[in-house]
Structure formats: structure tokens, C-alpha cells
Amino acid sequence: MNKIWFITGTSAGLGRGMTETLLRRHDKVVATLRQPDALDNLKQRYGDALQIITLDLTRNDSIRSAVTQAFALADKIDVVVSNAGYGLFGAAEEVTDSQIDLQIAANLTGSIQLIRAVLPKLRQQGGGRIMQVSSEGGRIAYPCFSLYHATKWGIEGFVNAVAQEVAGFGIDFILVEPGPTGTRFAQSLVMAPPLAAYDNTAAGKMRAALLAGEFAIKGDAGRTVDAMIAAADMAHPPFHLPLGSTAFNNIHRSLNQQLAELVTQEAVAAGADAP
């Protein structure tokens, strides 16, 4: 059965790939982006199967307007894909106040407000699925990505709580956690001005590796899109969806390390209980 999808951030990357793949299989897509002409070629090819809405995730009024338009265009939206976002690169001391504000507004607050805006619509239609594109960086951390991680860890915590709140309404979630993938994510990073003091630190080494093209990218964008769509098609999909061997291995290693540390603290934790 063909589905209707509402997808943010469709001008490039995974959002664009999902839109193209879904239209090819005769699904319908309500696509949002900041520059609507970026999808002109797809609109010409697929006509009314593709509806395009302008959305600025840093503005709550834009989010609410886009959601209202999207649900007015479709009798029912089956899957909401919260995909829009970008990366801010730099040590915590290097990034500027304005860079921090924009990163949080686009990646965290924008995603939160989008989900808040679609929840009443999904309740009214009897349920639906929300796919939040997070990252392996929502469960592990690299130097120079502290603010990006803050947004991804933040949205994962938000979704974990909201999923429990709305499960009784037939609304469920998938947290997509790709590792480094062959999109233009690295090329579109916002770079903080470097401080020489960090040259010989983990942050400086990460910057040098990134600029030298030494950061391994194993994930394939097309296969990542296919895996996301396949998960959204499942009757009972996984809540966490790590994609790419780098993401799986890094998350697996981190969870094992956290568990090993946790079990050593059992007596200390119990000792903080009231007598």
C-alpha cells in the first residue's frame, strides 16, 4: 500500500535521497526545505505526487505553518521524517555564541517543535510514525563536535520520553543513527575559527584529519536511505536504528564500556539510598 510521507530537509543528502526513492515507488511526499526551487526537477517529473513547502526550522511560526499545510494537503500522513539539520565543527572554546544558538535552534529546538506540532495531527488521524534522524553522535562523541552532540543527545532524550507519552495514541518513533555516510554533511560543516592552543590536542588532531580527508566514511547514502525506508515500512520497527558498520561498532563499544563502569559502582550507588 502506498504511503504519504512528510519529510524535512529534502534539498540534499538523505532527505533528497528518500524523496527520490519514495517517488519512484509511487508513494507521495510532502517535502520541506528552505529553497523550494531545489526540487523543481522532481516536481516536473512527479507532479502532484510531490508537494513542496518552504520551512525554516529556526522559526516556530514557520514550523507550525508548514505542518498545517502538510496535513491539509493529505488525507493522512503515514510517516513524518524529521531530517533537517547540519553540523557545527570546533572545540567548545572555539565556537561562537551565535554558532551555538543556530546549531541548537536548527538541530534541537527545531526538531522538538516539529514533533510537538505534528503530535496533535497524528492523534486526530488515529496514529502515525515519526522517524527522527539523529546520528551515531546521539550515543557517542567525537572531539570538535560537542555542540552537534549536544543537539543529538538532546533530541534522543526528548524522543525517548515522548515515545512513552504517546504510545497509547498509536504513535511510534524510530531514531535513525547513521555513522559517517557519503553525503555532503562534511562539506557543509560550519567551521569555528581554530585556536592555536588546541593544535596538539584531540580536537586539533581531529581538525587536521578532517581537513586532510582522513576521516573514514564507510556509509553509503543510497543503502542508508533504503534501510530507513525498510524500517519505516515494518509493522514493529526497532526504536534505535544504527546504520553503517562504524555506527554499530562505535555504539556497541561505548555501551559495553558504560556497562562495565556502571557495574563497578553498584555498592556506591546503593550507599546513597536513605537508611
Catalytic residue from among 82, 134, 135, 146: 134
Per-residue pLDDT band at 68 (split at 50, 70, 90): very high
Catalytic residue from among 46, 142, 148, 198: 148
Residue 11 falls in the annotated catalytic set: no
d(CA 46, CA 99): 37
Q: What is the DSSP string of 214-265?
A: -S---B-HHHHHHHHHHHHHSSS--SEEEESHHHHHHHHHHHHHHHHHHHTT
> In percent, how much of the chain has pLDDT > 70?
100
**CA 75 distance to own-chain centroid:** 26
pLDDT tens for residues 162-217? 999 999 999 999 999 998 887 777 778 999 999 999 999 999 999 999 888 887 78
Q: Is 266 helix (H, G, I), strand (E, B) or coil?
A: helix
For the domain covering 4-245, report its CATH number: 3.40.50.720
Residue 152 falls in the annotated catalytic set: yes
Q: Mean pLDDT for the chain?
A: 95
Which residues, including other chains, have CB under 8 Å from residue 187's CB and lie 6 or more apart? none
Q: What is the largest CA-CA distance in the chain?
A: 71
Across 140-162, average pLDDT: 97
pTM: 0.95
Catalytic residue from among 3, 28, 121, 152: 152
Q: Is 133 helix (H, G, I), strand (E, B) or coil?
A: strand
Residue 82 falls in the annotated catalytic set: no
Q: Is the pLDDT of residue 2 over 80?
A: yes
